[in-house]
Structure 1
């Protein structure tokens, strides 16, 4: 991929790692002859606005940060039929891991300039009283959601270990909750509010998209259960490398519910 890249940086990602790796990534892009524009985000909304403007200009959007930023900007790119890439710089980096994007910032930048693209599935999330939005990672309820909130407050612990520690803290006070998951006839998990709704084009190895055309519509299936979590998985990993859904693939056109 050549041309203009819009790098959107989360300055607090990875306890400042995004800011530290930025010069390395920019230098690698420049060495490949690629022009880039860098913006530090003031908030997630600001990051999405910057990305949307870049897509309108025809620039490729690059998330320099963790999974939260990458997931949000993938949705923006998909909504505008744009190009999206990642310089992984968070504590988890599961989306980059699934896509095979290197952790080294210079190597990740070279993936961007190599010119190969692939398609991936996104999840459309509906929450009452809020506009629908697209995400690239998994959607989860229960202990993983609580653990994510705890991890975001644990600024004193860096690296991927923050997620197992946060999960243990979440489990300590958790009582089983009631979950209802309705999987409609077209494969949408309505109870979780998650459906496959779009695709983004990302820098990486070329890959095809599964063909779902002509599939017979099946009756809805409802599951009601008491437990600790429900995960609507778009890929195998979440929580900094925890393999929650081994069969899940990010480009197969279906979701795995765990």
Structure 2
């Protein structure tokens, strides 16, 4: 059966227009039907995605993690089939799924791959009561760094995250966190706390290298308060995921995680959703039907 696609595009993402044009030509040449819907904002993108799914179309989220999380979140808990077209700044959720970014390779996958059930996250806070997101929920210095990166107009890609991180760390004071994992409370003085479905965030940093998107669990990573030079060393190890071997980094695992702190702190999710603590992240097992390769062997991130 020929697949019918609706591509929901974030026009503000640098590579979205060119990427979707090239991809659409390849899909149409293979006999698929493709319609392209530019988004006027996240809420509009959700509406377009839901309407397309109701018509039985494969819904493509085209852009970075914010657009992918928005479109995927709108489809969570349904039987809709979701495809990801990485065309933004971070593309971390696409990276976790091992998706290609070359249009020809991606077109072949979207045409031939079988849908795979993966988990999502239900985020609940005063600002966001029950919003589905995909990658991770993070609170602390990384949320502030992401806030600065998103406001950058001169820098893109990894440079915006690097400069945003430097700016955030320069004035950061470790906070006293209360982290509740499946009802058990942990009190930690820390720089940041991450509840991860995907192993990646912040432009390819492997914050939770053991996380899997299909295990029904969230990996919680706590980077405890350390002298600033040591914190920078930990940050440098995020690219390889070796930071989790340090005694200053604690990992937990659970289905429902609530993060609170002793002062007003930002949280973030999927690069776009944000607010102020407290926040709760609850895993939604198998909530999303996504076109991607089969899961990797147990023991490898995926």
TM (norm. structure 1) is 0.82
The answer to which structure has the higher strand fraction is: 2
User: Which runs of no fewer than 5 residues in structure 1 stay unpaired?
Assistant: 185-219
Are residue 245 (structure 1) and residue 208 (structure 2) matched?
A: yes
Q: What is the CA-CA distance between 1:242 and the residue it aligns to?
A: 0.4
Report SS of the residue matched to 2:213. Answer: coil
Mapped to 2, the partners of 1:2 and 1:77 lie a distance apart of 21
Q: How does 1:73-112 map to 2 (within 5 A)?
A: 73-112=71-110
* 1:166 aligned partner: 164
* 1:222 aligned partner: 185
Aligned residues: 221
CA contact (8 A) 1:74 1:136 kept: yes
Listed one character per residue, the Cα deviations across residues 113-146 of structure 1 (whole Å, up to 9, x for unaligned) are 1132211110100012543111111100011111
Mapped to 2, the partners of 1:80 and 1:23 lie a distance apart of 28
* 1:231 aligned partner: 194
Mapped to 2, the partners of 1:130 and 1:247 lie a distance apart of 28
User: Which runs of no fewer than 5 residues in structure 2 stay unpaired?
Assistant: 222-302
Q: CA RMSD in A?
A: 1.4
* 2:7 aligned partner: 7
* 2:51 aligned partner: 53
Mapped to 1, the partners of 2:164 and 2:132 lie a distance apart of 25
Change (3 A) 1:245 1:183: same
Mapped to 2, the partners of 1:91 and 1:233 lie a distance apart of 19
* 2:70 aligned partner: 72
CA contact (8 A) 1:52 1:80 kept: no
* 1:23 aligned partner: 21
After TM superposition, which residue ranges in structure 1, 4 or more long, deviate above 3 angstroms? none
Mapped to 1, the partners of 2:98 and 2:25 lie a distance apart of 21
* 1:144 aligned partner: 142
Once the two structures are overlaid, the 10-residue window that deviates more, 46-55 or 72-81, is 72-81
